Amino acid sequence: MFTGLLKKILTVKRILGYHSVITEFVDLTLPLMCNLGRCIAVSTAMKKTTANSKSYTWGDGCKAWQFVNTPNLSVIRETMPPRTSETMHKHAKSQQFFYVIKGEAKFELDGETFTIKTDEGIHVAPGCVHRIFNATDAALELMVISEPHSHADRIEIR
């Protein structure tokens, strides 16, 4: 197994031109090669789906699947049932990008409301007070990308 893994790493190094060393093993199938703080996964089993990703529920029946969950990046797919919302909050360090896969979302950003529809997205800068809500009678499906990871950086606004 190690020989096959080494061949994969060397192939990736040749393709990308990186002069790197393996600095961490998440498990035997997912080594990370780091170069100047950037890590590249070299596993062939990287396909992410809602079936093979960690999930959790939040709010009033909303569901989330963590496709990427690292200290520097979070990629989450979420489903919000009709007439649900999150609480107002902000992130001191994290920026976020919300992309609507299906449905219509309303966002409150620093007191202004935006409507984001299927195949549209919105960027939320660090420090921006915001919340998302689904004001429709249909489920909302979206992707949430946060950099760095935002869960430890959430400040509730009362």
pLDDT digits (tens, 9 = 90+) for 91-106: 999 999 999 999 999 9
Burial (CB < 10 A; 0-12, 13-18, 19+), residue 81, is middle
How many Å apart are CA 108 and CA 101, to the nearest integer? 19
Asked if residue 47 belongs to a domain, the reply is no
- Six token digits for residue 145: 């990308």
**What does the pLDDT read at residue 35?**
47
Is 20 inside any structural domain? yes
For residues 108 and 130, what is the distance between their CA atoms, to the nearest angstrom?
5
Q: What is the pLDDT of residue 34?
A: 46
Evaluate whether residue 29 is within a structural domain.
yes
Domain that holds residue 30: 2-41
pTM above 0.85, yes or no: no
Confirm whether 144 is domain-assigned: yes
37 & 58 share domain: no
**What is the per-residue pLDDT for 38?**
55
Whether residue 80 sits in one domain with residue 26: no
Query: For residue 9, is pLDDT > 70?
Result: no
Q: How far is CA 65 from CA 5, 82, 141, in A?
A: 28, 18, 11
Same domain, 127 and 90: yes
Reply yes or no: is the peptide bond before residue 148 cis, omega within 30 of 0.
yes
Residue 78 belongs to some domain of the structure? yes
Q: How many domains does the chain have?
A: 2
Q: Is the pLDDT of residue 141 over 50?
A: yes
Answer whether residue 156 shows pLDDT above 50: yes
Residues 24 and 71 in one domain: no
For the domain that residue 81 is a member of, what is the CATH number? 2.60.120.10
Higher per-residue pLDDT: 38 or 89 = 89
Can you say whether residue 80 is alpha, beta or left, with left for phi > 0 and alpha for psi between -120 and 50 degrees? beta
Based on the domain organization, do 85 and 152 belong to the same domain?
Answer: yes
Model confidence over 43-72: pLDDT tens digits?
445 789 999 999 999 999 999 999 999 999
Alpha helices in the chain (DSSP H): 2-16
Domain shared by 27 and 61, yes or no: no
34 and 58: one domain?
no
